[in-house]
C-alpha cells in the first residue's frame, strides 16, 4: 500500500505539473492573447496536427536566468512548445512560440528547445514548421539569447534542401529574429497580427523622419505583394494553418524521398477542347494562364506560391495523375508576362526548391522577353535573370514545358528550353519562337526598304507575314529537334502525364553515367 500510494502521489504530481505547463502564462495572459485575435501556442498546434497525434518535448524545461526579476518568472516549458506529430498522417516537427510567457521571447533554454526539435527533424528526415509569435531576444539574458538565434540560423542553413522548412508568422518577428524565417522555404503570414521587420516604425521615424505603421511596414500584405518576403497572406490563423497542411501534402518528407502520390480520380487521358479557345486571336491580347493550368492539372487544384508578388510569373504546386508537380508559367494578363528582376528571382527560387525535393517541373511559356528599362538594368536584371538560367540548367528533376504562344529572345532560352536540358518540350500550333517578334525583326532587317516604299504599311505587313511564316512558327524549331512535338492543345494533359510516366525513373546518376548529353549534333560533356 505504501508503494502504491507513492506511485499515485507521483502520478498526481506529474499530472499537476503538466497542467501547470499547459496553462502557459496563465488565464489572464491567455485571455489577452485572445483579445488580440490570436490563438495560443497549443491551440495552434492542435489545428496543425492530426487529432491526438502531437507528442511534446521538454515540457518541464525552465529558464536559468535569475537577474532582473526573472527568478520569480519561471514557467514550465518556458516560452515555446516543441514536439512532433502527424500532419496528413506523416511525421512533422514543430516549435510554437508562446507569447503568454514573457512575450514569447527567446531565452537560452528556448533556443535549446527549438534546436533540439530541429536536430530531430533533420535526423528523422521530416519537415520542420515554426509557429512564430515572439517579442524577440530576451534582453535580460544578453548574449546568450543572441547565441540562441545563431544556433537556430545554423540549423536552418544546414537543413536547407534537406527537409522542408516552413515559417508561420502569427505575431511579431522583429530584428534578427526575422532571419530564421527568411532562411526557410515558405513563409505564411496572418493579416493584422503577423508582422516582420528589421527595424520598427519608431526607429525609422527617429532616423529618417518617415512615418509608417506596423502593418504598412511589416504586415502580411506588404510582404506578400511588395517585398516578396512572404509567400502567403491569409485572413485568419485557422485558414493559415489549414493552408500549411495543404502545402505539406504536396511535398516529400526530405530530399531522399519522392513526393507522395495519391489516387487520382481525374482521367489521365482526358481531352479538353476548352483549351482551344483561351488564347485570343490577337497575338498581343492578354489572357489568364491560370485558366490553362486549371484545365490541365488534376481536378483543377492548383496551389499558387507567391501569388501577389511578381504577378507576371506564376509558380505553384499541383498534381498530374496523382503526382506532385511544380508549375512555372508566364502570366500574360500582367505586364504581358515579361521577365523582370522580381519574376526571375521568384521563378528561380521555386525551380531550385523543386529540384532539391524531387518534384518534377511543368513549365507553361508565353514570354515576350525581358523587361526593358534603365531601372531594370541598374537593378541588375542581368544577374537576376542569370539565376533563372542557372536554376533550370542545374535542375535534374523531370522538366516538361508547353509553349502556348510566344517565346522571344533570351527569354526563350531561360524558360526550360532544350538548350538548358529540358527533357520534353511541347508547343501548341499557336506558338512563336524567334529572336524577337516579327514586327521588330522586320523593322530592323528591312528598315531601308520600308522607308523607301510608296506604301510603307503595306510592305511592312507583307514582310512581317513572310518573316513569321518562314522563321517564327513552331515547326521550324521542331525540325531542328528544339521542340519535341507540336500538339493539339486539347491533348496537353495526357501528353504531360505520358511524359511524366516516361521520366519517372530519371536520375542524376544515370545522366552522369552516360558518355554525354547529345543535342543538335553537339556532345555536351557531363558536368563533374
Place of cell 530584428: 175
Of these residues, 32, 125, 161, 176, which one is catalytic? 176
Classify the phi-psi angles of 82: left when phi > 0, otherwise alpha if psi is within -120 to 50, otherwise beta. beta
Who's near 425: CB < 8 A, 6+ residues apart? 400, 401, 403, 416, 417, 418, 482, 483, 484
Is 200 noted as a catalytic residue in this protein?
Answer: no
pLDDT tens track for 412-469: 999 999 999 999 999 999 998 887 767 767 677 767 677 777 777 777 777 777 777 7
Of these residues, 125, 161, 175, 440, which one is catalytic? 175
CA distances from 187 to 19, 247, 280, 458 (A): 32, 11, 36, 54
Is 411 noted as a catalytic residue in this protein?
Answer: yes
Q: Does domain 273-431+473-524 have CATH number 3.40.50.150?
A: no
Place of cell 540548367: 393
pLDDT tens track for 186-233: 999 999 999 999 888 888 888 888 999 989 999 999 999 999 999 999
**In which element (H, E) is residue 512 found?**
helix 508-513
β-pairing verdict for 186-190 and 517-519? unpaired
Q: Which of the pair, 264 or 513, is modelled with greater confidence?
A: 264
pLDDT in the model for residue 315: 98
Q: Which of the pair, 77 or 198, is modelled with greater confidence?
A: 198
pLDDT in the model for residue 9: 67
Say if residue 335's pLDDT is above 70: yes
Half-sphere exposure (Cβ direction) of 460: Cα atoms closer than 13 Å: 16
pLDDT in the model for residue 136: 85
Who's near 225: CB < 8 A, 6+ residues apart? 233, 308, 309
Q: Given pLDDT bands bounded at 50, 70 and 90, which one contains residue 78?
A: confident
Q: Which of the pair, 19 or 391, is modelled with greater confidence?
A: 391
Is 419 noted as a catalytic residue in this protein?
Answer: no
CA distances from 39 to 2, 243, 484 (A): 44, 16, 53
β-bridge partners, 326: 317, 361
CB burial class (10 A; 0-12, 13-18, 19+) of residue 67? exposed
Which stretch, 19-23, 175-179, 251-255, has highest mean pLDDT? Answer: 251-255
Burial 433-467 (b: 16+ CB within 10 A, else e): bbeebbebbbbeebeeebeeeeeeeebbeebbeeb
Q: Calculate what percentage of the chain has a pLDDT beyond 70.
A: 89
pLDDT tens track for 291-331: 999 999 999 999 999 999 999 999 999 999 999 999 999 99
Say if residue 103's pLDDT is above 60: yes
Q: Which of the pair, 394 or 432, is modelled with greater confidence?
A: 394
CA distance 426 to 487: 7
Q: Given pLDDT bands bounded at 50, 70 and 90, which one contains residue 527?
A: very low
Say if residue 94's pLDDT is above 90: yes
Residue ranges, comma separated, of all CATH 3.90.226.10 domains in the chain are 2-248, 273-431+473-524
Backbone CA torsion sign across 16, 18, 24, 25: positive
User: How far does Cα 301 stand from its chain's mean position?
Assistant: 16
DSSP structure string for 326-359: EEEEE-TTTGGG-B-HHHHHHHHHHHHHHHHTT-
pLDDT tens track for 19-70: 766 767 788 999 999 999 999 999 999 999 999 999 999 998 876 765 655 6
For 157, phi then psi, to 5°, come to: -70, -45
pLDDT tens track for 352-382: 999 999 999 999 999 999 999 999 999 999 9
Of these residues, 126, 329, 411, 478, which one is catalytic? 411
pLDDT in the model for residue 518: 41
Superfamily of segment(s) 2-248: 2-enoyl-CoA Hydratase; Chain A, domain 1 (3.90.226.10)
Q: Is 450 strand, coil or helix? A: helix
Q: Given pLDDT bands bounded at 50, 70 and 90, which one contains residue 522?
A: very low
As a whole number of Å, the end-to-end CA separation of the chain is 72
What is the rounded average pLDDT of the residues 243-262?
97
pLDDT in the model for residue 507: 74
Of these residues, 125, 192, 379, 410, which one is catalytic? 410
User: How far does Cα 279 stand from its chain's mean position?
Assistant: 27
CA distance 238 to 480: 53
Amino acid at each position: 500500500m505504501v508503494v502504491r500510494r507513492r506511485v499515485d502521489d507521483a502520478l498526481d504530481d506529474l499530472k499537476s505539473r503538466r497542467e501547470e505547463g499547459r496553462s502557459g502564462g496563465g488565464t489572464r495572459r491567455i485571455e489577452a492573447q485572445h483579445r488580440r485575435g490570436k490563438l495560443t501556442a497549443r491551440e495552434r498546434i492542435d489545428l496543425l496536427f492530426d487529432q491526438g497525434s502531437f507528442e511534446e518535448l521538454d515540457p518541464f524545461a525552465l529558464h536559468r536566468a535569475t537577474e532582473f526579476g526573472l527568478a520569480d518568472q519561471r514557467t514550465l516549458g518556458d516560452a515555446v512548445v516543441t514536439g512532433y506529430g502527424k500532419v496528413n498522417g506523416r511525421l512533422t516537427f514543430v516549435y510554437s512560440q508562446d507569447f503568454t510567457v514573457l512575450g514569447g521571447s527567446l531565452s537560452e533554454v528556448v533556443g535549446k528547445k527549438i534546436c533540439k526539435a530541429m536536430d530531430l527533424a533533420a535526423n528523422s528526415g521530416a519537415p520542420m514548421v515554426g509557429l512564430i509569435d515572439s517579442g524577440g531576444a530576451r534582453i535580460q539574458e544578453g548574449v546568450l539569447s543572441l547565441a540562441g538565434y545563431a544556433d537556430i540560423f545554423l540549423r536552418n542553413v544546414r537543413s536547407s534542401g534537406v527537409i522542408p522548412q516552413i515559417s508561420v508568422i502569427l505575431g511579431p518577428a522583429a530584428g534578427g529574429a526575422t532571419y530564421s524565417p527568411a532562411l526557410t522555404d515558405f513563409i505564411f503570414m496572418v493579416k493584422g497580427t503577423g508582422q516582420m521587420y528589421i527595424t520598427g516604425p519608431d526607429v525609422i521615424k527617429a532616423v529618417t523622419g518617415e512615418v509608417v505603421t506596423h502593418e504598412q511596414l511589416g504586415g502580411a500584405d506588404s510582404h506578400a505583394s511588395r517585398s516578396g518576403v512572404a509567400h502567403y497572406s491569409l485572413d485568419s490563423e485557422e485558414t493559415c494553418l489549414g493552408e500549411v497542411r495543404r502545402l505539406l501534402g504536396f511535398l516529400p518528407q526530405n530530399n531522399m524521398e519522392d513526393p507522395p502520390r495519391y489516387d487520382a480520380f481525374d482521367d489521365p487521358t482526358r481531352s479538353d477542347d476548352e483549351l482551344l479557345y483561351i488564347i485570343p486571336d490577337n497575338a498581343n491580347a492578354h489572357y489568364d494562364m491560370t485558366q490553362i493550368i486549371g484545365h490541365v492539372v488534376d481536378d483543377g487544384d492548383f496551389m499558387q506560391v507567391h501569388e501577389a508578388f511578381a504577378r507576371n510569373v506564376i509558380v505553384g504546386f499541383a498534381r498530374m495523375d496523382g503526382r506532385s508537380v511544380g508549375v512555372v508559367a508566364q502570366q500574360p494578363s500582367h505586364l504581358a508576362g515579361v521577365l523582370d528582376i522580381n519574376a526571375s528571382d521568384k521563378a528561380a527560387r521555386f525551380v531550385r526548391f523543386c529540384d532539391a525535393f524531387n518534384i518534377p517541373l511543368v513549365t507553361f511559356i508565353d514570354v515576350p522577353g525581358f523587361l526593358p528599362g534603365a531601372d531594370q538594368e541598374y537593378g541588375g536584371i542581368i544577374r537576376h535573370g542569370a539565376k533563372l538560367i542557372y536554376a533550370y540548367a542545374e535542375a535534374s528533376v523531370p522538366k516538361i514545358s508547353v509553349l502556348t504562344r510566344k517565346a522571344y529572345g533570351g527569354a526563350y532560352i531561360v524558360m526550360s528550353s532544350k538548350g538548358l536540358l529540358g527533357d520534353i518540350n511541347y508547343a501548341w500550333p499557336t506558338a512563336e519562337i524567334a529572336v524577337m517578334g516579327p514586327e521588330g525583326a522586320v523593322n530592323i532587317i528591312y528598315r531601308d526598304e520600308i522607308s523607301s516604299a510608296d506604301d510603307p504599311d503595306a510592305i511592312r505587313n507583307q514582310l512581317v507575314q513572310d518573316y513569321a511564316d518562314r522563321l517564327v512558327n513552331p515547326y521550324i524549331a521542331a525540325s531542328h529537334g528544339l521542340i519535341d512535338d507540336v500538339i493539339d492543345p486539347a491533348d496537353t494533359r495526357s501528353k504531360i502525364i505520358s511524359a511524366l510516366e516516361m521520366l519517372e525513373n530519371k536520375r542524376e546518376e544515370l545522366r552522369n553515367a552516360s558518355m554525354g548529353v547529345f543535342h543538335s549534333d553537339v556532345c555536351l560533356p557531363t558536368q563533374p
